[in-house]
Amino acid sequence: MDRNQFKLGVVITLSVCAVAIAFRALWLFTQPRTYDVTVARALFTANLPYFVAKSQGFFEKQHLRVEDLRCRDGAEMLNHVINGKADVAAPVPLIEILNVHVRDPDSLRVVLFAVESASSHVSAIVVPTKSEVQTIRGLAGKKIAPYNNSESARASLKMILKGVQREAMADGTTFDPDSVTITKSRADTVLQEIASGKIDAAFLIEPQFSLAVVQGYGRVIEFNPRARYINDPYIVGALAIPKAFVRDNRDAARAFSKSIVDATKWIKLHPVEARNLLAEVTGVVDPKQLEHSGTYVWELPDDKNEIALEKVVNVMVDQGLLSGQPDLKTLLGDRSLCR
C-alpha cells in the first residue's frame, strides 16, 4: 500500500467515524428527555391513580423516573412540596389544598378533581353491628370518629353534621350537631374502636368501611354522606401541581399530570384490577373483601364541577373551616397541563 492509499484509508475511516458520531449525536438529541421527579404520596384511596400510574407504566411512557416520599396524610404531602423535599404530590384532600392556597394564592394549580357522588359508594357512616342507631340523626349525643385525625377528615364530618341539621330543619324536626362529639382517631385503629363499641359511629372511606362490614365490625347507616349533606357532587380532593414546578419544569409537570390522568382512565376501564391494587397498597390481605368497593370519579375541571367546587368552598368558608376566601380562578388557572 503506497502512501496515498494509506492517506485515503485514513480519510475514509475518519469520515465514517465522524458520520457515526454525528448520527449518534442526532439520535441522542431527538430522544425525549427523561425527568426525575420526587412524589409525596400516602396510603389512601385518593392516591390510587398514582399507584396505578406506577404499576401500569404510565410514568415510563411519559419519560419520568419517580421516587416515592411516603407521608401520613395530605397535609404532610403538601408540606414536603412547599419545603422542597418533593417536586409534586399525588392527589390531596381539597381542604389541604385550599388552606395552602389561602396562605399563598400563587402556590398551586389544580388540574384534576376527585369527586364523590350519590351513585358511587366511596364513604359511609358506620355504626357497630349491634347498635340501636338506625339513621345519622340518631347520633345526637353520641361519639363519632373520622377515618383519621387529619384536618380534612374532621372538617368533612363537621360539614356533614351541619348538613344533617339543615335537612332536619327543612322537614320540621331538630338535630343539634354540637351534641355529637367528634373524637380523635387513627386510621389503623378506628375499625377496632367500632368493633369494641368505644365509639358510637365512624365516618369512613374506602377501603375502611368495606372492611368494617365484611369483617363484621359494623354496618352502614348512610352511604356517601358528603354528597348528600354538603353537595352532590362533592369535590373530595384534587391533583394540585406547584406553580414553581410548572415554571421550572413545565414538560415534567405536564408529563406527570398526563400520567395521572391516564391512570384515572385505566381505573374506569379496569375496576376489578384497580380494587385489587387498592387492596395491595393498603395492606388488605384478601382482595375479595373489597369486591363491592367503589373508587372516586376523576374529572378534569369543567363548568359543572367548578360550580360544585365553588359551593363546597362557600360551605367551608361559612363554617369557618378556612382562614380566607380562595381565589378559584387563580387556583384553576392552567387547564393545559392535562389536555
Work out the average pLDDT over 207-217: 90
User: Looking at residue 339, what is its pLDDT?
Assistant: 58
Q: What is the pLDDT of residue 27?
A: 41
Q: Does residue 244 or residue 6 have the better pLDDT?
A: 244
Q: What is the mean pLDDT of residues 305-334?
A: 90
How far apart are alpha carbons 3 and 229 in whole angstroms? 93
Q: What is the pLDDT of residues 100-119, one digit of tens each?
A: 999 999 899 999 999 998 88
SS (H, E, C) 147-165: CCCCHHHHHHHHHHHHHHH
Residues 6 or more apart in contact with residue 167 via CB below 8 angstroms:
175, 229
Site of grid cell 386510621: 187
Report which residue type is found at 40: A
For the stretch 56-76, pLDDT in tens is 999 999 999 999 999 988 889
pLDDT of 30 strictly over 70: no
Q: Which of 258, 233, 310 is nearest to 112 (CA)?
A: 258
Residue 111, all three cell numbers? 388540574
* pTM for the full predicted model: 0.83
pLDDT confidence bin for 3, thresholds 50/70/90:
low
Please report which confidence band the pLDDT of residue 294 belongs to, taking 50, 70 and 90 as the band edges. Answer: confident
Cis peptide before 271 (omega within 30 of 0): no
- Model pLDDT for residues 117-139, shown as the tens digit of each residue: 888 778 999 999 999 999 999 99
Average pLDDT over residues 205-229: 92
Most confident of 30-39, 254-263, 326-335: 254-263
The yes-or-no verdict on residue 22 having pLDDT over 60 is no
Q: Is the pLDDT of residue 218 over 80?
A: yes
What structural domains does the chain harbor? 35-115+235-338 (3.40.190.10), 123-229 (3.40.190.10)
Q: Is the predicted pLDDT of residue 42 greater than 50, yes or no?
A: yes
Q: What is the pLDDT of residue 28?
A: 36
Report, as an integer, the average pLDDT of 286-311: 84
More confident residue, 328 or 44: 328
Q: Name the average pLDDT for the chain.
A: 87
Q: Is the pLDDT of residue 4 over 90?
A: no
From 18-32, 164-178, 180-194, 195-209, the region with the lowest mean pLDDT: 18-32
Pairwise CA distance, residues 210 & 272, whole Å:
15
